[in-house]
Structure 1
Amino acid sequence: MAENNKPPVEAAQRKDAAASPAAQVKEPFYDLAKWGTKPPEGEELISTAYGDKVTRDLAFVENKPGVHKPDPILVADDVVRRFGGMTAVDVGHFEIERHGITALIGPNGAGKTTFFNLMTGFDTPDTGSWRFDGRDMQHVNPEHVARGGMVRTFQLTKVMSRLSVLDNMLLGAPDQPGEGMFRSLFPGMWRKKERENREKAEALLERFLLIKKKDDFAGSLSGGQRKLLEMARALMCDPKLVMLDEPMAGVNPALKQSLLDHIISLREDGTTVLFVEHDINMVRHIADWVTVMAEGRIVAEGQPKTVMDDPAVVDAYLGAHADVDLGDDAVLEGLEEHA
């Protein structure tokens, strides 16, 4: 009925626009985030081109630590970080497949967050080198790493509590000419860009279901909403690689599905994702590739359906004798004999 109330010319234009292939191609990938893991009845996914490509590329990659990938976007070699007498990270070779969703898993203290810090310039390794999209990154400051297209979120969310949600988003915009003292005196030099940044920030807030909170203080958001805000802010600079450090930690179960859908939609938007997570069921659900760290080293790699059954993975999480009844004295005596 609403369509009949439109002027005939306007209604015809809307129908033609909806039917045109160009309009369908321009449909934003992030609509996937509104659908959950499956589209509504009667609708189809807009595109799974990147997911399909990654699946094909990784189908014949051997499941072993340090294996080479067909199209890596991040490559690290001989990265070592020691704190006193303890070696926190000792990675011989590591690659991330472009456009894929890679999960970095392992027990607490395995070195996952330290590895993130090293790759993004927040810490300096004792030895090692790494390249992002063909560019050497081992001596690059965090702000230049982000400008180069590799951004990360933190295990403990980093938001400006006394700024509005929208202002937090604007902090992530890479190009803000009005920040200069001289240019700030001439609004004509920065007003257009400021408007563009604001429109982009509001579009991302709409995508991450935070648009109604845009004028609220960021400190008033729940833990899950802060995770969403940090992820949205990371996209303000149009990154090629997003590194998420435990995006599900402390998140209300009602928001977990939304976060999962957003991570999937990032891939279908052409963004590569590397994330740290302890929820193995979630990893199985969305990851194209899984890398396992234990005691600073990569002990296993592979597709989710196979890597979870790797003895090295079970040992890293549960210990070599996780299935032994330690209440049985006879079993303990047997273990001592083989020690």
Structure 2
Amino acid sequence: MREHTTDKSARQTARQTGGVDAYGVQPGVPFQDLSRWATKAPEGEQLISTAYGDKVQKDLAFVEHKPGVHKPDPILVADNVTRRFGGITAVDVDHFEIERHGITALIGPNGAGKTTFFNLMTGFDTPNTGRWTFDGQDMAHMKPERVARMGMVRTFQLTKVMSRLTVLDNMLLGAPVQPGEGMFRSLVPPLWRKQEKANIEKAEALLERFLLIKKKDDYAGSLSGGQRKLLEMARALMRDPKLVMLDEPMAGVNPALKQSLLDHIVSLREEGTTVLFVEHDINMVRHIADWVTVMAEGRIVAEGQPKSVMDDPAVVDAYLGAHADIDLGDDSVLEMTESEEA
């Protein structure tokens, strides 16, 4: 591991210019192909680089574990965000921040307001009150397409692939620059052919990385649930986002694909992308998250590093109720609750 002495202003300069920062990292450019083994190195080898992960862990090590705490270098900041449906308050968040380049897990029981909060942040729903900024820019009341153009891209709990388009065509929908879309430009191939070729090459590279290249000419509707999750994540990366928001990326994914998804999420951080994800799999959260935020009944009830959050009484009560004396970090808890339900 390397020593990092860069201050916040140097990091911001690197991001603005697209140049290499003091860590020797160019945002959006992978160190190497980490997607194969981002969570653990092959036998006899070491991880190529964990520059961003090391920096995030050092920064968050000094952050107090309490709801709504301020972070050293936040990329998304939300204040007083509420969303009511009739007499029910689905979201009531006083303050929320996401650390830049970190992997933040947003967890909580069903009905806690996690997906609604995602919808608000990305423009798919309108809050009753509140404001939020992304990378220093006001994002309140912004349309979803503008949010995506700003660099904040999301996936959905129920995948939104175009079933009657091929896998490759689904990928091309996510490309940010498509000069051939205009009616008149489309009649002049020299104006768009070069960019179209670049988009296809980028899409095929991502499909290769996500193990979908052999499916590129298949209809997306023929993919399994796990493959659709991979396709949606790959399509989101076509835009080179600054922040990726994943809504239950492991839901409906078979065990054979789960490790691949985990590795992809970790590799995103090492390429300079910030990750926020909603997940119910506590063991997965404990394995890859740098920071955990817990929602219950629309409010943020706890924040902290994974181990400390799992020991928080408010979190244990939100998940288990009567089992409030049991450690959520213990794998046997999940087996116990499942057997009791049966």
What is the TM-score normalised by the length of structure 2?
0.86
The answer for the alignment partner of 1:114 in structure 2 is: 116
Distance 2:325 2:55 in 1: 39
Q: C-alpha displacement at 1:25, in angstroms?
A: 8.2
Distance 1:309 1:242 in 2: 28
Greater C-alpha radius of gyration = 1
SS of the counterpart of 2:101? Answer: coil
Over aligned residues, Cα RMSD in angstroms? Answer: 1.6
Distance 2:262 2:294 in 1: 20
The answer for the alignment partner of 1:34 in structure 2 is: 36
Q: C-alpha displacement at 1:156, in angstroms?
A: 0.3
Alignment of 1:48 with 2:37, yes or no, is no
What per-residue deviation string (whole Å, max 9, x for no partner) do you get for residues 120-157 of structure 1?
Answer: 00000000000000000012100000000000000000
SS of the counterpart of 2:183? Answer: coil
Amino acid at match of 2:207: L
The partner residue of 1:156 within 155, 158, 173 is 158
Distance 2:30 2:62 in 1: 31
Distance 2:159 2:169 in 1: 16
Q: C-alpha displacement at 1:116, in angstroms?
A: 0.1
SS of the counterpart of 2:90? Answer: strand
Q: Is the 8 A contact 2:25 2:31 kept in 1?
A: no
The answer for the alignment partner of 1:92 in structure 2 is: 94
Q: C-alpha displacement at 1:32, in angstroms?
A: 1.5
Q: How does 1:228-247 map to 2 (within 5 A)?
A: 228-247=230-249
Aligned length: 301
Amino acid at match of 2:184: F
Q: How does 1:1-339 map to 2 (within 5 A)?
A: 28-29=30-31, 31-35=33-37, 37-319=39-321, 322=324
Structure 2, unpaired ranges of 5+? 1-23, 327-342
What per-residue deviation string (whole Å, max 9, x for no partner) do you get for residues 293-332 of structure 1?
Answer: 00000000000010110000011111256569xxxxxxxx
Distance change (3 Å), C-alpha of 1:186 and 1:245: same
Distance 2:58 2:278 in 1: 24
Q: Answer with 206-215 or 123-132: which moved more.
A: 206-215
Q: C-alpha displacement at 1:40, in angstroms?
A: 1.5
Q: Is the 8 A contact 1:30 1:262 kept in 2?
A: no
Amino acid at match of 2:90: A
SS of the counterpart of 2:238? Answer: helix
Q: Is the 8 A contact 1:29 1:265 kept in 2?
A: no
Q: C-alpha displacement at 1:44, in angstroms?
A: 2.2
Distance 2:175 2:322 in 1: 48
SS of the counterpart of 2:33? Answer: helix
Distance 1:179 1:227 in 2: 27
Q: Is the 8 A contact 1:290 1:307 kept in 2?
A: yes
Distance 1:36 1:126 in 2: 40
Distance 1:253 1:80 in 2: 36
SS of the counterpart of 1:79? Answer: strand
Distance change (3 Å), C-alpha of 1:154 and 1:60: same
Q: C-alpha displacement at 1:42, in angstroms?
A: 3.0
Q: Is the 8 A contact 1:30 1:207 kept in 2?
A: no
Q: Is the 8 A contact 2:262 2:288 kept in 1?
A: yes
Amino acid at match of 2:103: I
The answer for the alignment partner of 2:337 in structure 1 is: none
Q: C-alpha displacement at 1:45, in angstroms?
A: 1.4
SS of the counterpart of 2:63? Answer: coil
SS of the counterpart of 2:125? Answer: coil
SS of the counterpart of 2:153? Answer: strand
Amino acid at match of 1:202: E
Q: C-alpha displacement at 1:31, in angstroms?
A: 1.6
Amino acid at match of 2:200: R
4+ residue runs of structure 1 moved beyond 2 angstroms?
Answer: 24-30, 41-44, 320-324
Distance change (3 Å), C-alpha of 1:242 and 1:25: closer
Structure 1, unpaired ranges of 5+? 1-23, 325-339
What is the TM-score normalised by the length of structure 1?
0.86
Q: C-alpha displacement at 1:43, in angstroms?
A: 2.5
Q: Is the 8 A contact 1:288 1:303 kept in 2?
A: yes
